[in-house]
């Protein structure tokens, strides 16, 4: 059976086109193969392409090498920068050391020789910076007597409401001398009691303030030790609010350094600053009877640049004094513990004068 005429015509046209295409391509290649100049040009172009490819490869290799060199330079630069920063840090430290030594020499020259002192434990600080100007056995633990009342005053002032009335209870009056002679049922403000205790160091008043502040004296002692922990005072333990000897076996001690921290914090409280600067205080009893209280701090009375703080004495603590003073914009706090009866005033004033010279 023969195909239809339309299909036959399509097959004929396709075979004719294939034949023409084959003939044309054959003629092209035959012509190229037989032309030496054309072959030469083709060869030259191939060589040119090969050369360009080789050049590209060489350039890639060079770029890779340059990148490695750049990375190496970066590492080298980073190392040099680190070394330079280290040198700058070391130089700054040396410069700071030099300036401190120079300043110490200048201060030593301005202050003159350190006074001869008999106190066993001493520290002098700049309360604005916390810098220690002088110290002697500043971390030795021991009794601090009535200078304990600085911490008592701090807690009372931090609680606030100093004009609140306090009713004296019988337990407040039951303590060893020094006592002001409070009577059960008497009413005073916290401010009155705080002023009296810091001026005259009455132990019955310290107990009344403690009990009023925390509910019981025992609870107040817990507050005292908790506050020490907050301040980072690891060498202080308190057993009462006044500094009298604790019961046998009950620990109670502090150091000159820890006490200076408490004193410096008290020094930031305007209420305490004002009270400890009083040379005397007229304490008015509920029956309108007045008791003239003289400040136990002799340095406050004898040295015009002294403006506080607190005295103390027990057999274990010896004679103690924390005193503050200011001159020409320089403020200092001196802590003297375990001194003699006459030595505590002489040492404290001499040290304060010496520290305030520069």
68 is catalytic: no
Q: Is the sign of the CA dihedral 72, 75, 77, 83 positive or negative?
A: negative
Closest CA to 204 of 239, 248, 234, 174: 174
Neighbours of 46 (CB within 10 A): 10
Which residue among the candidates 8, 136, 149, 234 is catalytic per the annotation? 149
Which residue among the candidates 200, 201, 254, 324 is catalytic per the annotation? 201
Q: How far apart are CA 77 and CA 89, in angstroms?
A: 18
Q: How far apart are CA 309 and CA 275, in angstroms?
A: 9
Which residue among the candidates 146, 202, 254, 348 is catalytic per the annotation? 146
Residues 6+ apart with CB under 8 A from 67: none
Q: How far apart are CA 115 and CA 351, in angstroms?
A: 7
201 is catalytic: yes
2 is catalytic: no
Residue linked to tokens 């007045």:
290
- Kindly list the strands in the beta sheet with 318-327, ordered across the sheet, starting from the edge strand earlier in the chain: 132-136, 121-125, 330-339, 318-327, 306-314
Question: Which residues does the annotation mark as catalytic?
Answer: 146, 149, 201
């Amino acid at each position: 059976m023969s195909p239809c005429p339309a299909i036959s015509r399509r097959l004929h046209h396709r075979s004719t086109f294939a034949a023409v295409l084959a003939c044309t391509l054959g003629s092209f290649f035959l012509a190229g193969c037989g032309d030496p100049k054309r072959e030469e040009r083709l060869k030259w172009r191939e060589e040119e392409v090969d050369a360009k490819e080789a050049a590209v490869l060489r350039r890639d290799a060079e770029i890779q090498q340059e990148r490695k060199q750049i990375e190496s330079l970066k590492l080298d630069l980073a190392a040099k920068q680190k070394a330079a920063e280290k040198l700058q840090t070391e130089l700054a430290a040396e410069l700071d050391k030099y300036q401190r030594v120079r300043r110490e020499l200048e201060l030593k020259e301005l202050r003159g020789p350190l006074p001869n002192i008999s106190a066993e434990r001493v520290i002098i600080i700049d309360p604005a910076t916390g810098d220690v100007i002088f110290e002697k056995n500043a971390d030795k633990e021991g009794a601090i007597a009535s200078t304990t009342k600085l911490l008592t005053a701090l807690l009372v002032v931090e609680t606030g409401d100093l004009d609140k009335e306090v009713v004296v209870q019988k337990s407040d009056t039951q303590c060893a001398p020094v006592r002001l002679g409070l009577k059960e049922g008497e009413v005073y403000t916290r401010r009155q009691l705080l002023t009296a205790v810091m001026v005259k160091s009455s132990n019955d008043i310290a107990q009344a303030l403690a009990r009023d502040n925390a509910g019981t004296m025992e609870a107040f002692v817990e507050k005292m030790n908790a506050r020490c922990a907050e301040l980072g005072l690891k060498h202080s333990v308190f057993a009462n609010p006044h500094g009298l000897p604790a019961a046998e076996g009950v620990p109670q001690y502090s150091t000159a350094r820890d006490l200076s921290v408490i004193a410096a914090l008290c020094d930031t409280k305007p209420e305490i600053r004002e009270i400890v600067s009083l040379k005397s205080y007229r304490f008015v009893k509920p029956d309108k009877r007045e008791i003239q209280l003289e400040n136990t701090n002799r340095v406050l009375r004898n040295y015009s640049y002294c403006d506080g703080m607190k005295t103390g004495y027990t057999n274990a603590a010896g004679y103690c004094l924390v005193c503050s003073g200011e001159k020409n914009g320089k403020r200092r706090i001196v802590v003297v513990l375990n001194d003699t009866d006459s030595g505590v005033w002489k040492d404290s004033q001499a040290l304060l004068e010496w520290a305030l010279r520069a």
